Structure 1
């Protein structure tokens, strides 16, 4: 409590009243100060438990991922040799296999052009119409090559995907591209006044006058089987449950296999989260010694729950999986797939070579070790973490709730003590003021008597 605003002028026996009250209040305030310090300690303790809980929550997120079936069902599609030829992705239902792919032609779209005109922007003084991509284009005398291209592009939104055409102007030539690739030609026909013939897009017999690029299908072989498609990208019907996209000709190999790289990344993420949580738990559980040999013990030093979490976590992660027919004796600990602890602390390390070999040659055994519903290491650890982190009913929530209740009770006590101290302080001022008045009256009487004697 503060007494800065409560002051009295005067002395008692030559001593300032405020000094007297302040001195007496110090001893009375000692229990209050002690209680306020306890609140600070409890708040510090709460903050540290919140940090521990956050790290364990992150850790559980990693264990949950590793125990999810879909994670282990993922397939990868890896391109080797000429990687620029294609890209690929595989569904979880894809079969493990290797494919030799030889691309001889990429799919191309049909492209045609007009005769070169005198200008791209000057009026052509043409009137009439023509049809392209199933849409009627009307030409007026003020239209230029660029204006006609703009009209075609505006009409493209009404064209079907199979007929859609894109127009451009190169130098002074009108160029028409079929949007879709493949052997299908651009659909167009002349109309009133033979505008397309005048532009040189069609000849006198209504045949295309200038073919700038023939439409062509994608041509390739897959494991010796000839494949022909009208498009280069998003092909889902060449290899079951695999999507292919091609960008160049050449030869490549495509391997569809278990996505071991993703599993390895998840295990590495788990180890990082585990080490972060265990490092925090260890640091909170030990006192620190400064360079001057002074010892500082945090509020969680000696906490039995903190010790139990660290010990149980290490036991579950580094121990042997429970006996189960689905778990191989050759792969019944994380150590056997390259994940080990130093034996000095709770931190884990990973031997990439051992893990890679286990995932490549013993994938099912590794999966069982990690996520078997009855005895899997991560499954058991995930269950333990759930008990700690469950909202309201979890061990950590209950511990933090107890701390909050302690803080609340102490705050109530502090408020009551401050009220009582204020009453006590006011009573002191009243008493000293009374004494001051009595002394003042006695001094006056003494002065009076001295004057008449």
Structure 2
């Protein structure tokens, strides 16, 4: 009696194992595409790290100009707080805070109930609220939404430039109080009801025709609780009036935050406070140290991306293969040019920007090659190293000369201007309209497009492999059925022969 082949099918064929073997073999067809996809993704990632390192260096050079060499400090004041930004220069000012900005606040006449409907029966009614010269906010009110509580809720639901609240009034009564979120004249409130004259009598208010019940005004109409008030201060005798207590356009580079009205002297006059803006270069050293660190971070990112390793030797007779340990951007011309430009800019000579210090090496910042230093070395390798004592001495004795080296002098460019040209070329220029796209963004865009095409090829190949496996599965099943039938016939014949012979 014949022994059937062991397996899972009726014939003994192990169909799942056969399909798995075929799948493993077929999947190898994906390898070239997967390698390409991995390569493109690796290049995109490397460019992202290099771009980030350049952004950090660009930001550092901006801080070196704004907060370092041109940095200022500001003393403390009681009536106001002043902070310095870009453009602030050392100076002294006499400042008086005459008046703080306040929000406009209006209230309705007192009502016996906060839940009684104050309007008439009307098809529709709208409460229109206008702040200053801004856009009008329309609040739709139904017949059952004209009580003080409902009106306040409907106003607040709009989340506009006013807030509304129901407040207690005298004799157990209530009133609706509407307050502008904006201070000063820009926040003046105007309220007008259309479609319901009864409700209009309670809520209408026009700042151009203010109602003052305490001085003969209409006691049954809305009135002003607090007037909109602008901030007023004088700077060296010149009056400045703004709608906000935060004032950033009075002195270039200085932002005021008004706290309180200035104190008065014995004669009842407001006393001025001195705003002292003094030069402060205490951040220069730390920012220069950051510059060196961030420049070295760029070199590290570029070095990793362009790393080279010896080719991998193949089996006997095979050609050597590129080492997979190579950097993702190994051999990339764009990166090679970028690194060369950054190196030559950092280690260049800027004789016209300063008489004493013309290179980074002259202030103690040198290039290190395998442990050796020297500012006379050129090329695309090597990191920066700081001689702290030499840098400290240069900052102490000749800070303006160091400023010229980094920021330029008398129209002659320094290191910052040179690097900004590199940043513009490789990072682009977002200050222009339209935005200029840099070489890195262009490279990343091209790589992503290639990766997208490869991803589509992978999808198509995966579909072909799946279709091939399905066809093979059907063929294996047919073969299994045929072999099963043959085994059955063989067994029947053997049984018949045994019967004849028996």
Please classify the TM superposition score into its range, dividing by the shorter chain length: 0.5 to 0.7
Displacement after TM superposition at 1:307 (Å)? 4.0
| 1:96-130 Cα distance to aligned partner (Å, 9 max, x none) | 9xxxxxxxxxxxxxxxxxxxxxxxxxxxxxxxxxx
Question: Counterpart of 1:183?
Answer: 266
Contact 1:183-1:230 at 8 Å conserved across structures: no
Contact 2:308-2:330 at 8 Å conserved across structures: no
Q: Does 1:349 align with 2:385?
A: yes
Q: Which secondary structure state, in structure 2, belongs to the residue aligned with residue 261 of structure 1?
A: coil
Alignment of 1:151-162 (within 5 A): none
Question: Counterpart of 1:282?
Answer: 303
Q: Does 1:273 align with 2:294?
A: yes
Q: Does 1:411 align with 2:445?
A: no
Of 339, 344, 368, the match for 1:315: 344
Q: Does 1:371 align with 2:407?
A: yes
Structure 1 residues 420 and 381: alpha-carbon distance in aligned structure 2, compared to 1, 3 A threshold: same
Q: Does 1:380 align with 2:379?
A: no
Displacement after TM superposition at 1:426 (Å)? 1.0
Q: Which secondary structure state, in structure 2, belongs to the residue aligned with residue 330 of structure 1?
A: coil
Unaligned 5+ segments in structure 2 are 1-6, 76-81, 93-226, 232-260, 311-322, 371-380, 429-434, 498-502
Alpha-carbon distance in structure 1 between the residues aligned to 2:360 and 2:291: 12
| 1:290-319 Cα distance to aligned partner (Å, 9 max, x none) | xxxxx9715426343444433332221012
Of 432, 439, 443, the match for 2:476: 432
Displacement after TM superposition at 1:268 (Å)? 2.5
Alpha-carbon distance in structure 1 between the residues aligned to 2:90 and 2:488: 110
Contact 1:318-1:334 at 8 Å conserved across structures: yes
Q: Which secondary structure state, in structure 2, belongs to the residue aligned with residue 342 of structure 1?
A: strand
Q: Does 1:339 align with 2:365?
A: yes
Displacement after TM superposition at 1:378 (Å)? 1.7
Contact 2:262-2:270 at 8 Å conserved across structures: no
Q: Which secondary structure state, in structure 1, belongs to the residue aligned with residue 437 of structure 2?
A: coil
Of 297, 314, 318, the match for 2:325: 297
TM-score scaled by length of structure 2: 0.49
Contact 1:284-1:300 at 8 Å conserved across structures: yes
Alignment of 1:90-109 (within 5 A): 92-94=88-90
Contact 1:63-1:382 at 8 Å conserved across structures: no
Alpha-carbon distance in structure 2 between the residues aligned to 1:75 and 1:452: 111
Question: Counterpart of 1:25?
Answer: 23
Alpha-carbon distance in structure 1 between the residues aligned to 2:368 and 2:46: 26
Displacement after TM superposition at 1:95 (Å)? 6.5
Question: Where has structure 1 moved over 6 Å in runs of 4 or more?
Answer: 88-91
Alignment of 1:48-63 (within 5 A): 48-63=46-61
- What is the root-mean-square deviation of aligned Cα atoms in Å? 4.4
Structure 1 residues 448 and 361: alpha-carbon distance in aligned structure 2, compared to 1, 3 A threshold: closer
Structure 1 residues 181 and 272: alpha-carbon distance in aligned structure 2, compared to 1, 3 A threshold: farther
Structure 1 residues 268 and 320: alpha-carbon distance in aligned structure 2, compared to 1, 3 A threshold: same
Q: Which secondary structure state, in structure 2, belongs to the residue aligned with residue 10 of structure 1?
A: coil
Q: Does 1:262 align with 2:283?
A: yes
Q: Which secondary structure state, in structure 2, belongs to the residue aligned with residue 260 of structure 1?
A: coil
Alpha-carbon distance in structure 1 between the residues aligned to 2:339 and 2:91: 42
Alpha-carbon distance in structure 2 between the residues aligned to 1:392 and 1:298: 32
Contact 1:41-1:299 at 8 Å conserved across structures: no
Unaligned 5+ segments in structure 1 are 1-7, 79-87, 97-156, 162-177, 186-228, 237-241, 244-255, 290-294
Structure 1 residues 259 and 339: alpha-carbon distance in aligned structure 2, compared to 1, 3 A threshold: farther
Alpha-carbon distance in structure 1 between the residues aligned to 2:336 and 2:493: 80
Structure 1 residues 436 and 56: alpha-carbon distance in aligned structure 2, compared to 1, 3 A threshold: same
Structure 1 residues 260 and 392: alpha-carbon distance in aligned structure 2, compared to 1, 3 A threshold: closer
Q: Which secondary structure state, in structure 2, belongs to the residue aligned with residue 422 of structure 1?
A: helix
Task: Count matched residues.
Answer: 294
Displacement after TM superposition at 1:418 (Å)? 1.1
| 1:11-63 Cα distance to aligned partner (Å, 9 max, x none) | 65x43122222222322210114433442343333223222221111111112
Structure 1 residues 28 and 419: alpha-carbon distance in aligned structure 2, compared to 1, 3 A threshold: same
Alpha-carbon distance in structure 1 between the residues aligned to 2:29 and 2:396: 67
| 1:248-281 Cα distance to aligned partner (Å, 9 max, x none) | xxxxxxxx5x533233333222222212222232
Contact 2:39-2:328 at 8 Å conserved across structures: no
Of 235, 246, 255, the match for 2:274: 235
Question: Counterpart of 2:14?
Answer: 16
| 1:321-355 Cα distance to aligned partner (Å, 9 max, x none) | 3x64xx23532212223332224463323345544
Alignment of 1:10-159 (within 5 A): 10=9, 14-66=12-64, 72-75=69-72, 92-94=88-90
Question: Counterpart of 1:196?
Answer: none
Comparing 416-425 with 263-272, greater Cα deviation is found at 263-272
| 1:172-215 Cα distance to aligned partner (Å, 9 max, x none) | xxxxxx99353247xxxxxxxxxxxxxxxxxxxxxxxxxxxxxx
